A and B are shown apart, each in its own frame.
Chain A
Amino acid sequence: MTDFPLAFDAARSYRRVNVSAELSQYIPVGLLILIAIAFAAGMLLASTALGQKGRRPAVKDTPYECGMIPVGDAHMRFPVKFHIVATLFILFDIEVVFLYPWAVVFKPLLKDPQTGMTIFTSMLTFLGILFVGYVYCWKKGALDWAPRRETPQPPA
């Protein structure tokens, strides 16, 4: 059988042990959630408990108590470029994340040369698709901050 060995095959085999074992893997997650809640709550509580109470002049409600005096509204329009770049960042970031589990199982699976070749070409294909997307973004000018040179400047 030249079947495609999948990483979660291994996961599947120990998943069926029993329910409590299955749930126990979530204990760290639960702990993390508890710590996060405790941390946020603690900060709030601490600032309430330790902070100065009493008079609150208008200056106290400004974003910055010192330095430049802010002009205008914070809800201002900003170039859509920010949005595109942010989206692209998330996209490529997430796809790079896939590289980690692959890298983890890559070495043990390399022992069987054929499986190794398969898993290697698979990742190459994946990266190739990613690369096509990258080239596309580049070519379309999604990575340029300034308007592209070829495009005629809009009349001032």
Chain B
Amino acid sequence: MNLSSLKLEMATAGLGMLVLMLGAFTRRDDKRFLGAISAIGLTAILAWSVCCGAVMGVGFDGMWVNDAMALFFKRLFLIATILVTVMSAGFAGKIESGVGEFFALILFACTGMMLTASVNDFVMLFVSLETVTITFYILTSYLRRQVPSLEAGVKYLILGALSSAFLVYGITFIYGATGGTSFSGLAEFLKVNGAGGLVLLGVMLVLAGLGFKVASVPFHIWVPDVYQGAPTPVTAFLAVGSKAAGFALLLRLLYGGLLPMKATWVALIAVLAALTILYGNLAAIPQKNIKRLLGYSSISHAGFLLLGVAAATAFGTGAALFYLFAYVFTNLGAFLVIVCMANATADDEIASYAGLARRSPLLAAAMTVALVSLAGVPPMAGFFAKFLIFSAVIGQQLWWLAAVGAVGVVASLYYYLGVVKAMYWQEPRQEAAIAVGLTMKVALWFVMAATLAIGVFQGPVVEWAFEAARELVK
């Protein structure tokens, strides 16, 4: 185990620096080519990770672990980032200045996310998490002349700082009690002494910090405001990448450090999952803004993911991983449409989507595929993901949890299909057709195809996710 186990992260960070330098030295006004460079570079890194694999094992004094799950998450982050860069290239027209830095920051955030996948120590946890979070503070307030973006940035900064404070505070308690910062040390301590007193306090504070990242009730409160105000690609990245990073850390911590107190966290996460599902889905119903709606919907999806975590089996974890994978494509599909729409209509109100099917059949179809998949309708990827999650939960005889999940699914159909209804069965405000650029078209088709393909030919992805989960859970 040496530096070569970090090669993917180093490559991504290097790509980020390259983009930053190119952005600083180029004289071209249109900096969208940096998006192309980012996307191509990330694709190369993804291909590298697939064909050359990675150095597996634990290293750096136990702070760093590369296993099947780490690789799963890293590839997931790379895929998500590729799509987000493509989306950002389509969004670049709205960014007043600093397009080059925008792409560089996205790449740095991606590096941070990839780091989270391999975390095995609280120090590493904090560093990787802050790498992600701090870049997101900047990205969220990137439209600095627009009040909503600034407001979102400030809210995210302050609440994020609060959660980081809780997190660090928790880590100090754990350090104070166990005399170390490694996950394995914590596990040993818990095995010997049991959970109680200051360790328990510390663990709960850390979990609260991670709860903020994954947007679980009651730490979800920032989500709607920030999602609505942030630039759309950033919202997408928050909803997909940042959340997945939170789950990567959560899984690492739960199975790395907190395994001896499994009974406690299973009960806690089950309750939080139920609350999150109910809150996200119910509060989404009256929403009028599509980004805010997807914000609430992302809360509810965090709930479903927690459902898989609460099942606390290899099956449940695998289901959650598959869910994340399906969620990346599905959710990014929806955000791609939002970017195209925002370019054409300059707002994100659901009312602007009325009659979209007549103005742009492709956008309407892509949105429908995405929403229907998010709602979990066969044969989309989202259906199979929910199916796996529910199987896992029922397999653990958590009937009440499955029932709550079912209620959530039904409620979610209501608001997702409300958008579909507006797109297909309502009169458009204006008839003008919406033009979609070639890159976006390709991305839309790709995401649609992936959403459908993962739903129909789930086999390989399921196998991949479950292999990762088995190695983690053992």
Which residues of A pack against B, CB within 8 Å? 2-4, 6, 9, 12, 15-16, 118, 129, 132, 135-136, 139-140
Contact = CB atoms under 8 A, between A and B. Distances in A.
23 contacts: A2-B1, A2-B2, A3-B1, A3-B60, A3-B61, A4-B2, A4-B3, A4-B59, A4-B60, A6-B61, A9-B61, A12-B180, A15-B179, A16-B179, A129-B17, A132-B17, A132-B21, A135-B21, A135-B24, A136-B20, A139-B24, A139-B25, A140-B24
A15 B61 CA distance: 17
Contacts of A140: 24
Interface in B169-218: 179-180
A59 B322 CA distance: 75
Contact of A4 (B20, B61, B179, B180): B61
Interface of B: 1-3, 17, 20-21, 24-25, 59-61, 179-180
B59 A3 contact: yes
Given A2-B1, A3-B1, A4-B2, A132 B60 contact: no
Nearest to A15: B179
Given A3-B1, A140-B24, 14 more contacts: A2-B1, A2-B2, A3-B59, A3-B61, A4-B2, A4-B3, A4-B59, A4-B60, A6-B60, A6-B61, A9-B61, A118-B3, A135-B24, A139-B25
Most chain B CB inside 10 Å of its own CB: which residue of A6, A16, A136, A140: A136
Given A4-B61, A12-B180, A136 B2 contact: no
Contacts of A139: 24-25
Nearest to A138: B24
Contacts of B61: 3-4, 6, 9
Interface of A is mostly: helix
Contacts of A9: 61
Contacts of B1: 2-3
B179 A136 contact: no
A122 to B, nearest CB: 8
A9 B61 CA distance: 9
Contacts of A135: 21, 24
Contacts of B60: 3-4, 6
Nearest to B123: A8
B180 A132 contact: no
Contacts of B2: 2-4
A2 to B, nearest CB: 5
Contacts of A2: 1-2
A11 B1 CA distance: 22
B186 to A, nearest CB: 15
Nearest to A19: B179
A150 to B, nearest CB: 10
Contacts of A132: 17, 20-21
A140 B1 CA distance: 39
A2 B2 CA distance: 7
